[in-house]
Structure 1
């Protein structure tokens, strides 16, 4: 770096440029090996509905949790495209663990997005050396938290539901608004270690899908928050607010991976069936023209989502590398591109995971087959925020150029 502008940008964003072929090949291979391990007992683990401690260790040992961290501090030094591909690959076999990893990437990215410049190195070193998996407790539509000044720190009380990774996360990222004092009204980012005094993890996550995402309820009983636990405070700076397009992009890749996984399992089931329907002109089930037509439609639509996701992943890398040079216009363009992906990935994955049963026949509905896992996962997570509002967001921008106000959903 020789210019002042380049120095400033580098100080703001640890990510520069785009992933090359060697990087993508390396991390794709790592993710595929982890996915193969997860696939061996994905259905059994889903039904056991236990906290995924073993799965989180698998992610750490493979190096996936430090993939995005700066190489100068011991991290993988990779790009967002590599991280998002890893999420997509894991989602093909175990979308719960893919969710854990994707949320970890976004939560830990707040070191670069939110933490003061002179504190980032210590946060990175603690996270990398401790092999932290970052969970969160940030559900914005469940704001029942009070953060009140207490000496040089704060006291945290209240309850948060849908806290992904909280059951196994080494670090728990918490959002709360300061109630009074010099920081009154500011949106704080607090990071507490697993087992911190006064933090109660309620192991009650028993939903239709994403059962191993450890998205528990967390209760805070007069929790002491020291200055060292405060990552930073939110602002309306475009760079700092990339966390929301980032998590929505994780969703798009998660949903695409689920659709791809459903298609792959359905293909194996279809090819294994010996006989076609008695009215069919074909001898083998896979040769039936209606079966082939259905697969043709679902495969083509999924491929279109993949092309859009690949483009959005690269756009995110290009945008976040701008650092201080990032403008509101850059962020808005990225937001709309990712919202478009959210619409088509959500609708396509739900349809694919549902209609593959038509292509595989009644025997595929047996509990032992587990084809339902893909549908249960996408049906559950796609409810995170209403996709209809993403459609309105994209449509309004197309017609009038308007961009939605920045929030933890836009």
Structure 2
């Protein structure tokens, strides 16, 4: 493999997306979404590892959307990536999650790797067609990373490792537990077939069943020097990774809400009669049902407006690279927290109340309208939304920012 000598800044993202870029990738994402929608319910019920779904993403070019063009990627922007996640989540929330996490995990190249090593990583991900999974769940601090030679030995386990069942590589964050560098946290990348890595196929949850969020066990896994992206630090631009994943959540919650509305609309329009006490000829002409749909649609549209604005703001701030300040980072993180609150509550409400206007027949297992609710209800438990409300309130009232973490 020939490594280009191009020197990158701390992050390679520059500027914001233009209409041509957005339109192109909306079309690509919609084409993938249309294919996924055909058998989304059937695939959900089979609960199998989503290798075929990842192949669709790869063949469409979506895995390399955010890779700089000089290394073989599309050179796209975060706003575009977020929109792709949203569109795909409307058809299949699990695959929307897989793509969202892939973008965040892959961006560890930009946020953690030194400028002189980034080019090698970008080329490897393109040439390998990598989907990036992760194993960074901070509520399972059970990893030990012990120096050995010029690398480390990794032991322990992690739950909720999204994409690990199908990703070519897995990003791991672990704290060095011994030696002179004890206490330092490293981000590193290991292939799914690395000796000593055990992928436990235990992801059997209410929703998001095809997100490949298995548990992992590490049995004397060798972490080589070439596997290490870099240290996890409090550098402002690198800490934007966490608000980035929260904004990715916002987008696939929004997508799920939009998908539930679209599915509900088709069901209502397909009903040729009306409620027996109604003066309307059909359910779609009944003002009671129109009112409910109107309310849900308006709230979803409001979330969409906020989300679209934040996608562009995220690009603008990330493109400042090393000039990003903690103050700027904190302000954007709170705006994203606001969107996280309203997207969570709106998506859950839409996915729940859509049954009110589609009737008892829509609760049939064969209809599968429950898929939207199960998906958003499951992932929205990722981190308590009440803490996001506190984050917003503390910042608004007193200008206080929450401590940096993998959730804030």
TM-score (structure 2 length as normaliser): 0.98
Q: Specify the alignment match of 2:52 in structure 1.
A: 54
Q: Specify the alignment match of 1:67 in structure 2.
A: 65
- Out of 71, 81, 84, the position equivalent to 1:83 is 81
1:117 aligns with 2:138: no
Separation in 2 of the partners of 1:325 and 1:149?
33
Q: Specify the alignment match of 1:3 in structure 2.
A: none
Q: Specify the alignment match of 2:3 in structure 1.
A: none
Which string of whole-angstrom CA distances, capped at 9 and with x for unpartnered residues, describes residues 274-313 of structure 1? 1111111112111111100000100000000000000110
User: Does the residue aligned with 1:126 lie in a helix, a strand or coil?
Assistant: helix
Q: Specify the alignment match of 1:243 in structure 2.
A: 241
RMSD: 1.0
Q: Number of aligned pairs?
A: 403
How does 1:125-140 map onto structure 2 within 5 Å? Answer: 125-140=123-138
Which string of whole-angstrom CA distances, capped at 9 and with x for unpartnered residues, describes residues 358-380 of structure 1? 01000000000010000000000
User: Does the residue aligned with 1:11 lie in a helix, a strand or coil?
Assistant: coil
Contact conserved, 2:10 with 2:114, CA < 8 A, in 1?
no
- Out of 396, 403, 406, the position equivalent to 2:404 is 406
Q: Which runs of 5+ in 1 are unaligned?
A: 1-6
Separation in 2 of the partners of 1:387 and 1:357?
24
Separation in 2 of the partners of 1:286 and 1:239?
49
Separation in 1 of the partners of 2:321 and 2:222?
33
Which string of whole-angstrom CA distances, capped at 9 and with x for unpartnered residues, describes residues 64-109 of structure 1? 0000000001001010010000000000000100100000000010
Separation in 2 of the partners of 1:342 and 1:86?
18
User: Does the residue aligned with 2:91 lie in a helix, a strand or coil?
Assistant: coil
Separation in 2 of the partners of 1:101 and 1:21?
22
Contact conserved, 2:159 with 2:215, CA < 8 A, in 1?
yes
Task: Return the offset for 1:183.
Answer: 1.8
Q: Specify the alignment match of 2:300 in structure 1.
A: 302
TM-score (structure 1 length as normaliser): 0.97
How does 1:298-377 map onto structure 2 within 5 Å? Answer: 298-377=296-375
1:153 aligns with 2:145: no
Q: Specify the alignment match of 2:34 in structure 1.
A: 36
Separation in 1 of the partners of 2:236 and 2:243?
11
1:386 aligns with 2:384: yes
Task: Return the offset for 1:221.
Answer: 0.6
Separation in 2 of the partners of 1:397 and 1:359?
39
Q: Specify the alignment match of 1:194 in structure 2.
A: 192
Contact conserved, 2:196 with 2:218, CA < 8 A, in 1?
yes
User: Does the residue aligned with 1:173 lie in a helix, a strand or coil?
Assistant: strand
Which string of whole-angstrom CA distances, capped at 9 and with x for unpartnered residues, describes residues 1-41 of structure 1? xxxxxx99x61221111100000001101000000111111
Deviating above 3 A after TM superposition, structure 1's stretches of 4 or more consecutive aligned residues are none
Which string of whole-angstrom CA distances, capped at 9 and with x for unpartnered residues, describes residues 298-340 of structure 1? 0000000000000110110001000011000110111011000
Q: Specify the alignment match of 1:101 in structure 2.
A: 99
Separation in 1 of the partners of 2:115 and 2:191?
22
How does 1:169-188 map onto structure 2 within 5 Å? Answer: 169-188=167-186
User: Does the residue aligned with 1:57 lie in a helix, a strand or coil?
Assistant: helix
Which string of whole-angstrom CA distances, capped at 9 and with x for unpartnered residues, describes residues 376-410 of structure 1? 00000000000000001001111111111111000
User: Does the residue aligned with 1:238 lie in a helix, a strand or coil?
Assistant: coil
Separation in 2 of the partners of 1:308 and 1:52?
31
Separation in 2 of the partners of 1:179 and 1:12?
27
Task: Return the offset for 1:181.
Answer: 1.5
Task: Return the offset for 1:190.
Answer: 1.5
User: Does the residue aligned with 2:107 lie in a helix, a strand or coil?
Assistant: helix
Task: Return the offset for 1:133.
Answer: 0.3
Separation in 1 of the partners of 2:233 and 2:373?
38
Separation in 2 of the partners of 1:149 and 1:270?
62
Q: Specify the alignment match of 2:16 in structure 1.
A: 18
Task: Return the offset for 1:231.
Answer: 1.0
Task: Return the offset for 1:182.
Answer: 2.5
Separation in 1 of the partners of 2:215 and 2:9?
36
Q: Specify the alignment match of 1:216 in structure 2.
A: 214
Separation in 2 of the partners of 1:93 and 1:183?
46
Q: Specify the alignment match of 2:254 in structure 1.
A: 256
Q: Which runs of 5+ in 2 are unaligned?
A: 1-5
Task: Return the offset for 1:244.
Answer: 0.3
Contact conserved, 2:89 with 2:95, CA < 8 A, in 1?
yes
